């Protein structure tokens, strides 16, 4: 399970696992933070990935990667007999593929992400099944599986809830990105007495310098999302999406009517149709769409704006991290917990019931409070940086006891100015 490095010493074999490289910027940002920690604190580690987009992960992060699922159409709806059979066969094949991958490692890290929640549509035999296979085979072969800074929420579907509960129980280490996540796992019957809560891993990423000139005066970044409700809303998904999109269109149109430049942001490749719909509905040169390939790109965009209104969780994190006053169009408790932790708990608006007039009212209040909010964010970011340094120290003690050295941490956390 270990490899020898060039000096002949034993190198720890570390795997990273998840829907990484699949187009979600937040997931990849969590991976980037964990790789930064490993390279700074455990440079001897040999790292590879089992993930959703292996080609993208290898190209961007320079680590070997293997496809998470044997069946390539895992996340497409199976409407034909051949596709159904392929998915079924894939579940069996993935047992052996996952076991073979896990047994080559000493440690496997699941970096952040909402892996223990179903706030978006989720089938139990998709990622929850894959996570269960990981944690079960980790326990079987003695690989320490760590769920690091993950998100969790109450789950209605019984099969999904069972798989999530047993995945958490079988993991060797758990920590959460907010207190509601830990509470949700406890409510599902997991003993969380020794589990810690820390800020989201994305807060550990360096804040990029804003080299480009500031955006136009009064620019507003509006982060949108292909929001269709949660896992229990499949019957109403299109209705929820239409209501959300209509509200966001009306909000953007109102900003443009006041002469405000609007910059549209996304956080996943699936959000592109929402951007296209808004650009089509609000035909104005004041509305532009950003092209972002990383959380660093999102941070640069939000730093150049006067205010941010966003739906995706990691859009919010990027804006808060660079100290820009932010209003959350919230679709889950995690967003509300994040905003409260950062001192902006009053600035949340429900994604399920977007009321453009009420959203504008909250937005104007946000702008009037801008100077005070920037001071609050600067203070909260300093606190978040310290808490994450503690998390990485605890992670080393839990997962790398043989290599834990009494030295000053060198993980390149940068305090937000």
Instruction: Tell me how far apart the alpha carbons of residues 160 and 70 are, in angstroms, rounded to a whole number.
Output: 21
- Kind plus residue range of the DSSP H or E element containing 169: helix 158-170
Regarding whether 161 and 78 lie in a shared domain, the answer is yes
Provide, rounded to the nearest whole percent, the portion of the chain with pLDDT above 90: 81
Tokens 């290599």 — which residue?
403
Q: Judge if 176 and 262 occupy the same domain.
A: no
**133 and 259 part of one domain:** no
Looking at the domain assignment, is residue 410 inside a domain?
A: no
Query: Can you give the pLDDT at residue 82?
Result: 65
Q: Specify the CATH number for the domain of residue 89.
A: 3.40.50.2000
Residue with tokens 């808004």: 278
Q: Report the distance separating Cα 278 and Cα 111, nearest Å.
A: 33
Give the pLDDT band of residue 83 (cuts 50, 70, 90).
low
Q: Note whether 9 and 107 are same-domain residues.
A: yes
The 3-state DSSP class for residue 320 equals helix
- For residue 175, being part of any structural domain is answered with yes
Q: Which domain holds residue 339?
A: 220-376
| Number of domain units in the chain | 2
Tens of pLDDT, residue by residue over 388-414, are 999 999 999 999 976 544 334 444 443
How big is the CA angle at 214 (ends 208 and 216), to the nearest 5 degrees?
145
What distance in Å separates the CA atoms of residue 367 and residue 347, rounded to the nearest whole number?
Answer: 11
Indicate if 130 and 167 belong to the same structural domain. Answer: yes
Within 331-413, strands assigned E span 348-350
Q: How far is CA 289 from CA 115, 236, 284, 403, in A?
A: 29, 28, 12, 46
Distances (CA, A) of 258 to 115, 194, 261, 263, 287: 41, 52, 9, 15, 12
Within-domain flag for 138: yes
Residue 409 lies in a domain: no
CA pair distance 20, 309, nearest whole angstrom: 26
Task: Give the chain's mean pLDDT.
Answer: 90
Q: Using DSSP, state whether 92 is helix, strand or coil.
A: helix
The answer as to whether 202 is a domain residue is: no
Does 389 reside within a domain? no
Residues 257, 332: one domain? yes
DSSP 26-75: HHHHHHHHHHHHHHHH-TT-EEEEEES-HHHHHHHH---EEES-SSTTTT
pLDDT tens for 137-174 read 999 999 999 999 999 999 989 999 999 999 999 999 99
For residue 182, which of 147, 208, 206, 212 has the smallest C-alpha distance?
A: 147
Examine residue 14 and state whether it is found in any structural domain, yes or no: yes
Whether residue 229 sits in one domain with residue 167: no
Do 163 and 71 fall within a single domain?
A: yes
Residues 224 and 193 in one domain: no
192 with 228, same domain? Answer: no
SS3 of 221, please? Answer: strand
């Amino acid at each position: 399970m270990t490899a020898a490095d060039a000096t002949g010493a034993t190198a720890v074999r570390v795997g990273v696992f998840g829907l990484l490289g699949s187009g979600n910027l937040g997931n990849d940002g969590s991976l980037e933070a964990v790789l930064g920690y490993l390279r700074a604190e455990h440079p001897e580690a040999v790292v590879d990935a089992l993930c959703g987009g292996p080609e993208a992960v290898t190209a961007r992060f320079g680590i070997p990667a293997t496809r998470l699922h044997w069946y390539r159409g895992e996340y497409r709806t199976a409407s034909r007999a051949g596709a159904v059979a392929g998915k079924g066969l894939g579940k069996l094949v993935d047992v052996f593929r996952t076991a073979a991958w896990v047994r080559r490692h000493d440690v496997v890290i699941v970096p952040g992400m909402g892996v223990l929640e179903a706030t978006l549509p989720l089938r139990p035999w998709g990622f929850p099944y894959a996570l269960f296979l990981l944690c079960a085979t980790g326990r079987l072969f003695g690989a320490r599986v760590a769920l690091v800074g993950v998100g969790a929420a109450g789950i209605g579907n019984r099969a999904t809830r069972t798989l999530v509960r047993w995945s958490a129980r079988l993991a060797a280490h758990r920590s959460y990105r907010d207190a509601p996540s830990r509470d949700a796992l406890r409510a599902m019957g997991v003993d969380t007495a020794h589990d810690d809560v820390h800020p989201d891993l994305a807060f550990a990423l360096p804040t990029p310098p804003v080299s480009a000139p500031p955006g136009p005066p009064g620019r507003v970044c509006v982060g949108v999302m292909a929001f269709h409700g949660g896992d229990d809303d499949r019957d109403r998904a299109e209705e929820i999406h239409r209501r959300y999109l209509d509200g966001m269109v009306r909000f953007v149109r109102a900003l443009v009517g006041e002469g405000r430049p609007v910059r549209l942001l996304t956080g996943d490749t699936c959000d592109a149709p929402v951007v296209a719909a808004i650009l089509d509905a609000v035909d104005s040169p004041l509305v532009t769409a950003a092209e972002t390939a990383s959380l660093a790109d999102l941070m640069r965009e939000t730093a150049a704006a006067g205010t941010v209104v966003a739906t995706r969780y990691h859009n919010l994190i990027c804006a808060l991290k660079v100290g820009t006053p932010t209003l959350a169009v919230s679709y889950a408790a995690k967003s509300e917990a994040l905003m409260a932790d950062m001192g902006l708990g009053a600035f949340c608006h429900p994604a399920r019931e977007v009321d453009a007039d009420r959203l504008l009212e909250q937005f104007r209040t946000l702008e009037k409070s801008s100077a005070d909010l920037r001071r609050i964010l600067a203070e909260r970011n300093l606190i978040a940086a310290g808490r994450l340094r503690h998390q990485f120290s605890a992670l080393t003690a839990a997962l790398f006891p043989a290599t834990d050295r009494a030295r000053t941490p060198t993980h390149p956390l940068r305090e937000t100015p």
